[in-house]
Amino acid sequence: MVATNAALRRPDLFHAYVGIGQVINTRVNEELSFAYGLERARAEGNVEAVTELESITPYPGDEPITRDRIIITRKWPQHYGGLNAYRDAEQDYYYGASLLSPDYDCEDREAFFAGNVFTLEHVLDEFLQVDFSGVGEFPIPVVMFMGRHDYTTPSAATAEWLQRLDAPYKRAVWFEHSAHMISWEEPGKTLLNLVEQVRPLAVP
């Protein structure tokens, strides 16, 4: 979201824009994510999930989108692979990766989680106002990396926006075996597409 605004305001500073897990409209994302979680829960007869999700319907509706409501909404789509394709909410492969790095100690890793909570509390109001759906022109080339199973920032909204966008160059790259965590789920394909699709936009 920060980079999208930056590219729109100062396109002279960029060769191209690459979106991964791109947010177009926060409220639309919330609606799609919630609907996916509820649909999967009902299909599987998951009484706990259905009860919890139905407790905040209609979502987002007219009620304030609070941190507590977001947590419920994220919980079940992520349980059904909307964060990591083919995985439930287990994220040890992602969070555990920091254990392999000599650059992080235990204090750093604890700060990471604390930082997540701190950030959400301070940017939530602004985050909920994000809406690029009215942007019909982009001044620089746009490449969107989209996870086929992403229901954290649902790719359908990004694909629809990209299709009607007017830009000097645009390309949709689908990651068929990824959800939201594309760089970790399909790192090889991520690198390959950065080299083959993006690098030529910056280096003649």
Q: Taking 70 as the threshold, does the pLDDT of residue 90 lie above it?
A: no
φ/ψ (deg, to 5) at 131: -155, 105
Per DSSP, the residues of 27-88 read HHHHHHHHHHHHHHHHHHT-HHHHHHHHTT-SSSTTS---HHHHHHHHHHHHHTTSSSTT--
Q: Taking 70 as the threshold, does the pLDDT of residue 130 lie above it?
A: yes
Name the pTM for this structure: 0.89
Question: pLDDT tens digit string along 146-159?
Answer: 999 999 999 999 99
Residue type, 158: T
Per-residue pLDDT averaged across 52-64, rounded?
Answer: 92
Question: pLDDT tens digit string along 181-191?
Answer: 999 899 999 99
What proportion of the chain, given as a percentage, has pLDDT over 90? 73
- pLDDT at site 110: 84
β-partners of residue 145 are 20, 173
List Cβ neighbours of 78 (8 Å cut-off, separation of 6 or more): 84, 88, 89, 151, 152
| Domains of the chain in sequence order | 2-25+130-202 (3.40.50.1820), 27-127 (no CATH)
Residue type, 83: L
pLDDT bin (cut points 50, 70, 90) of residue 112 is confident
Q: Taking 80 as the threshold, does the pLDDT of residue 10 lie above it?
A: yes
Q: Taking 80 as the threshold, does the pLDDT of residue 111 lie above it?
A: yes
Is residue 27 within 8 A of residue 128, CB to CB? The reply is yes
Which is more confident, 62 or 93? 62
